[in-house]
């Protein structure tokens, strides 16, 4: 039984990594057709952005049509991981909201998508910009505050870690919470500390209140 479970888990991880890579391809097509800018990270109407609003996929209203998953026209199956019972598994790096592809410093280390909500995902980006009125510029690098929700459940999706997709197209599993009850390495882990069940206390944030691993 342990061998069977290990093989099944390896299969799940591989499938989820493959789906993340397909997201990269679709994202590239979107960029080339939209002035080399990344998709929007949140719903919006004619007046304002809604960074905290969960978007429906596929869109059930015009409000959700600009949300990244609807904007790039991704198939729902490619948004779900077989180990997670939800139609949308992957969190989009909200710092990429309308950001210029050509301004990314290092695509090999900049996260595009990840399993940031663990096995209880939400249809919001994480982290994300705290945008307001639609006519107010909302781009990373300006004086825009950010939102970093802490997942309510454990964030270990595959073993003691989760999958990440980087902007150069490669996807990889990353061990999270190397030592329980002790601060992690902020250069490789988005969360500050884990307990033995994989729950986290908070994000690593820099002096400007932003998650350093996600800066484009």
pTM summary value: 0.92
DSSP 90: P
pLDDT attached to residue 2: 55
Q: What is the pLDDT of residue 162?
A: 92
Domain assignments of the chain as residue spans, ordered by start: 1-175
So what's the pLDDT on residue 87?
73
Higher pLDDT pick, 12 / 190:
190
CA quadruple 52, 53, 59, 62: dihedral sign: negative
What does the pLDDT look like over 79-114, one tens digit per residue?
A: 888 777 777 788 999 999 999 999 999 999 999 999
pLDDT, tens digit, 9 for 90 and up, residues 31-45: 999 999 999 999 999
Closest CA to 153 of 86, 87, 75, 76: 86
* Residue 3 or residue 175, greater confidence: 175
Mean pLDDT of 2-15: 64
pLDDT at 94: 96
The 10s digit of each residue's pLDDT in 134-172 is 998 888 987 788 999 998 888 998 888 999 999 999 999
| Among candidate residues 77, 116, 118, the one with its CA nearest the CA of residue 94 | 116
Backbone angles phi, psi at 31, to 5 degrees: -60, -45
Residue 3 has pLDDT above 50, yes or no: no
pLDDT digits (tens, 9 = 90+) for 53-72: 999 989 999 999 999 999 99
pLDDT band at 1 (very low <50, low <70, confident <90, very high): low
Please provide the average confidence, as pLDDT, over all residues in the chain: 89
């Amino acid at each position: 039984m342990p061998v069977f479970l290990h093989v099944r888990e390896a299969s799940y991880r591989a499938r989820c990594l493959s789906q993340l890579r397909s997201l990269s391809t679709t994202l590239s097509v979107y960029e080339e057709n939209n002035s080399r800018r990344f998709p929007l990270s949140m719903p919006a109407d004619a007046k304002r952005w809604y960074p905290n609003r969960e978007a429906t996929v596929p869109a059930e209203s015009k409000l959700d049509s600009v949300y990244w998953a609807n904007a790039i026209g991704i198939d729902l199956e490619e948004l779900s991981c077989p180990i997670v019972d939800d139609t949308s598994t992957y969190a989009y790096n909200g710092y990429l909201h309308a950001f210029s592809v050509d301004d990314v410093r290092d695509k090999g280390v900049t996260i595009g998508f990840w399993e940031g909500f663990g096995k209880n995902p939400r249809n919001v980006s994480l982290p994300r910009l705290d945008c307001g009125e639609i006519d107010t510029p909302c781009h990373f690098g300006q004086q825009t505050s950010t939102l970093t929700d802490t997942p309510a459940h454990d964030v270990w999706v595959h073993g003691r870690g989760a999958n990440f997709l980087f902007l150069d197209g490669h996807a990889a599993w990353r061990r999270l919470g190397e030592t329980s009850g002790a601060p992690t390495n902020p250069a490789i882990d988005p969360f500050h500390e884990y307990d033995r069940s994989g729950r986290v206390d908070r994000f690593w944030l820099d002096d400007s209140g932003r998650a350093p691993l996600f800066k484009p």
